[in-house]
Chain A
Amino acid sequence: MTNSFADFAKAKMFFVIGSNMTEAHPVAATFLKNAVMNGAQLIVSDPRRTKLAEFAKVHVPIKVGSDVAYLNGLMHVLIKEDLYDRDYVERCCTGFEALKAKVMEYPPERVAPIAGISEEMLIDVARRLAAVKPAMLIYTLGITEHTCGVNNVMSCANLQMLLGNVGFECGGVNPLRGQNNVQGACDMGALPNVFPGYQKVEDPAARAKFEAAWGVKLPEKNGLMMPQMMDGLVDGKVKFFYVFGENLANTEPDIRHVEHCLESAEFMVCHDIFPTETTRFADVIFPAAAWSEDDGTFASSERRVNRVRKVSQAPGQAKPNWWIFKELAKRFGQEWASNSGQEIWDNEVSHLAPSLVGIRYSRIEGDGLQWPVPDLEHPGTCTLHKDGCFTCGQGKFAAIDWTPPAEVPDAEYPVVLSTGRRLTQYHSRTQTGRCLGLNDILGEETADISPQDAARLGIAHNELIKVRSRRGEVKVKARVTQEVPEGMVWMAFHFREACANWLTNAVFDPVSQTAEYKACAVQIEKI
């Protein structure tokens, strides 16, 4: 997030796209709803009529995968009607002429049929966005989980720069991150192209810095991204696969394909706290300490590094994950000095990552600090690119074309499947499935379908149906709901038997390698 959750309660205008916040980020959504109740305007762009859409001034039910066309269409109107922030664009941004030329190719009459909305609605939304400043743009996986995910993200940034909304409190581009520490795992360099603090592994100076710190020679070229690793398992490039705390066999698209990849590993190691569908493929499983059984830190969506504290003993012989890695290093003759979460952070991480230099455990006993925190007196950074002064110099517009999802409905598979999370369960339920009460609220998967489709197919609410894609099929209860538009089925991936990932399409954004969980084609059948 360029901005902070504290802005949510104060903002006057929200543009939420591809985010089912009341279920996936419920507490953040409460502050947004508070602002709306106090008069802020909310525009929700989502194919589904989500709970949040009920609070919206305008719900824009764009078609799945039409985001770039829709956002280009909004920018078309803003430029054509001269409603954009000309001063900000000239002062803070580059690439405007190319952007303008591109979005001029997206007039309302072209965008309306692609996005499945009226021209009037598109123009109305653009005018509303220009009327209140700043507006806060919030997105989640509805933007990123597409083969054009990177283009979707850049289009969100284009829109906010065009409106002059980046760099101000209650503005900005704000992705809500799905896992408690997905921000932190990125910050720590659990990525194939960067060291901790986003220092590029291909940069000789960065390598030299880490070589000096760790006392070893480091590899020079970028590594594989996760989907490439999976393919590598099958084609033999990857022999040894090390899976720490992920249940890939449920959470990756096209389970049949994923399991084939995992079977192909010559040797596989897992760390986990429970046996999972993924540990079935492991040759060695290390039992790990869980949340609240170890001291450490998480980094949240708003770049805030928060303390996590130990209150319980890990069961049996389970050990902290950092200890397991340290023990393996020792068997290669490397004695790592740090011997606790605090020593790792205070003595290594905060010295190596420039944006985290000012964060020490002693400073985050209460509220955490939002990076960048360049020194030990720095109070943290609530808003990035302050006043339009972009970290990289100037904001770069990108001229982007719309591309449809890799698999679109056809005569054989006429319905769009889109997937996501539900409020009461979390991912593959290794944790929430073992919490008393949560299964009482949501105990099984459903396929959410529209009343129109239900009527056409003669399907009753709670009736068992088949949902089939080119990858597989599941039997699942139909949940007939007006949240879902005609021609769409929506499912989550919380329950193994009816997991949406038996159906999803393992195609990826070419740059980010993010899978297209949000769009594939299926057929629905009454049993």
Chain B
Amino acid sequence: MSKPTLTINGMTVEFQPGQTILEVARAAGIYTIPTLCHLKDTTATGSCRMCMVEVERARTLLPACATVAAAGMVIHTESPRIDASRRMVLELLLASGNHNCLVCEANGVCELQALAYRYQVATPDFAYPPDHPYYLEDNKNLIRRDLSKCIMCGRCVRACNEKQVNQAISIGYRGAHNKIVTRADITYSDSDCVFCGQCVQDCPVGALLELKAMGQGRPWETHKVRTTCPYCGVGCQLLLHVRAGKIIKVTGVEGAAPNKGRLCVKGRFGYDFIYSPERLTTPLVRDKKGGELREASWDEALDLVAAKLKETIAKHGPDSVAGVSCARSINEDSYQMQKLFRAVIGTNNIDHCART
């Protein structure tokens, strides 16, 4: 059976039954339908109304992200009517909060800012934010929640409930009082939040932020390096945001195996130990048992260890030497250590913590 077709911007394209107009458009190479509330792999809510498109013979504009494609539809993704609608939505969103980009951490990656630029919506014609203070909380030195920048897209809700399934975030209250809440509107810290930070990664604006990254650098000043998480055995793929040789933020690599952009609290926030002032920075030698450690050069420390190894092997044989490798360090380190033990020292007394 042939696939159903529809027409989009004059092109006739096939689609899979059940696909949304947004999915059909993107599959057809049309990436210009703007979205804010849309979050891949989660339920479409159609709440932000940015992705409105014209479908001929439809009474109103329709949200592309939440409208299932139908055979024979004739769709236009750009038109003066659509532009006017999107511009109005942007004006309303910009008027709804404290969208001052000057010191916002999201400046440069903010999806609202990008759309305001695209549609050249400078200053809302409506009132400025109300003068009562917006809700702002800093949680555990990890996550800032600044609802003055929240556009109620609900992506954090779906990130928490549909991706990570931690079920900590929801939408509270009714109508104009709508608000993102954790439990019965308490702080992240006091709620069921486990600080995976998925909500921060999926927030399109600056309402949810990594506190450790604040003031550390602008998005365009960082370069991104893919690597593998150093904690459990899942092997999540991390994107390190690096500025001047220093990691300032970690996010998940979207689409990568196995984690598809998701991280946990350790993977996302457990990176700054490497900059601790307590790091060991020089070889240390203890001249006698129970004595103090003193600094030594690499040559002195390496020569000492080699000499002691030779002495032990000569006196007691190679099997009097034993070693454990590290299950946290790279493969290449473990390879070298077992090679040292087998090929140089001459013993198979090499193990690591896999068994304990």
Q: Could you tell me if B335 and A344 are in contact, using CB atoms closer than 8 angstroms?
A: yes
Question: How far, in whole Å, are A246 and B354 apart by their CA atoms in the complex?
Answer: 11
Q: Does any Cβ of A come within 8 Å of B265's Cβ?
A: yes
Question: How far, in whole Å, are A349 and B328 apart by their CA atoms in the complex?
Answer: 18
Q: Which of A303-334 contact B (CB under 8 A)?
A: 304-309, 311-313, 315-322, 324-329, 331-332, 334
Q: Could you tell me if A334 and B344 are in contact, using CB atoms closer than 8 angstroms?
A: yes
Give the residue of B246, B258, B318, B334 whose beta carbon is less than 8 angstroms from that of A304. B258
User: A274-B278, A302-B235 known; A331 and B302 CB under 8 Å?
Assistant: yes
Give the residue of B258, B306, B332 whose beta carbon is less than 8 angstroms from that of A349. B332
Question: How far, in whole Å, are A334 and B341 apart by their CA atoms in the complex?
Answer: 13
Q: Could you tell me if A309 and B225 are in contact, using CB atoms closer than 8 angstroms?
A: yes
Q: Could you tell me if B273 and A434 are in contact, using CB atoms closer than 8 angstroms?
A: yes
Q: Does any Cβ of B come within 8 Å of A437's Cβ?
A: yes
Q: Which residues of A sit under 8 angstroms from B108, Cβ to Cβ?
A: none
Number of A-B contacts defined by CB within 8 Å: 460
User: A181-B327, A229-B351 known; A26 and B279 CB under 8 Å?
Assistant: no
Q: Could you tell me if A30 and B351 are in contact, using CB atoms closer than 8 angstroms?
A: no
Query: What's the minimum C-beta distance from B339 to chain A, rounded to whole angstroms?
Result: 7
In this complex, what residue of B is CB-closest to A149? B355
Q: Does any Cβ of B come within 8 Å of A189's Cβ?
A: yes
Mark the stretch among B28-36, B69-77, B283-291 that contacts chain A. Answer: B283-291
Q: Could you tell me if B320 and A239 are in contact, using CB atoms closer than 8 angstroms?
A: yes
Question: How far, in whole Å, are A513 and B324 apart by their CA atoms in the complex?
Answer: 14
Give the residue of A267, A302, A434 whose beta carbon is less than 8 angstroms from that of B258. A302
Query: What's the minimum C-beta distance from A278 to chain B, rounded to whole angstroms?
Result: 10
**A163-197 Cβ-contact flags toward B at 8 Å (1 or 0):** 00000000000001111111111111111110110
Question: How far, in whole Å, are A294 and B109 apart by their CA atoms in the complex?
Answer: 29
In this complex, what residue of A is CB-closest to B278? A274
On chain A, the number of residues with a Cβ less than 8 Å from chain B's Cβ atoms is 144
Give the residue of B263, B276, B324, B344 whose beta carbon is less than 8 angstroms from that of A27. B263
Q: Could you tell me if A182 and B354 are in contact, using CB atoms closer than 8 angstroms?
A: yes
Q: Could you tell me if B280 and A225 are in contact, using CB atoms closer than 8 angstroms?
A: no
Question: How far, in whole Å, are A248 and B233 apart by their CA atoms in the complex?
Answer: 20
Q: Could you tell me if A312 and B140 are in contact, using CB atoms closer than 8 angstroms?
A: no
Q: Could you tell me if B231 and A426 are in contact, using CB atoms closer than 8 angstroms?
A: yes
Question: How far, in whole Å, are A100 and B283 apart by their CA atoms in the complex?
Answer: 59
User: A6-B258, A287-B280 known; A246 and B326 CB under 8 Å?
Assistant: yes
User: A4-B258, A183-B233, A423-B194 known; A226 and B355 CB under 8 Å?
Assistant: yes
Q: Could you tell me if A341 and B233 are in contact, using CB atoms closer than 8 angstroms?
A: no
Q: Does any Cβ of B come within 8 Å of A403's Cβ?
A: no
Q: Could you tell me if A182 and B327 are in contact, using CB atoms closer than 8 angstroms?
A: yes
Mark the stretch among A59-67, A88-96, A211-219, A390-398 that contacts chain B. Answer: A211-219
Q: Which of A357-408 contact B (CB under 8 A)?
A: 366-368
CB pairs A–B below 8 angstroms (7 shown): A180-B235, A181-B331, A305-B331, A306-B237, A341-B332, A366-B256, A434-B273
Closest 9 CB pairs of A and B: A316-B281, A300-B235, A296-B330, A245-B326, A223-B348, A177-B233, A242-B323, A26-B264, A331-B306
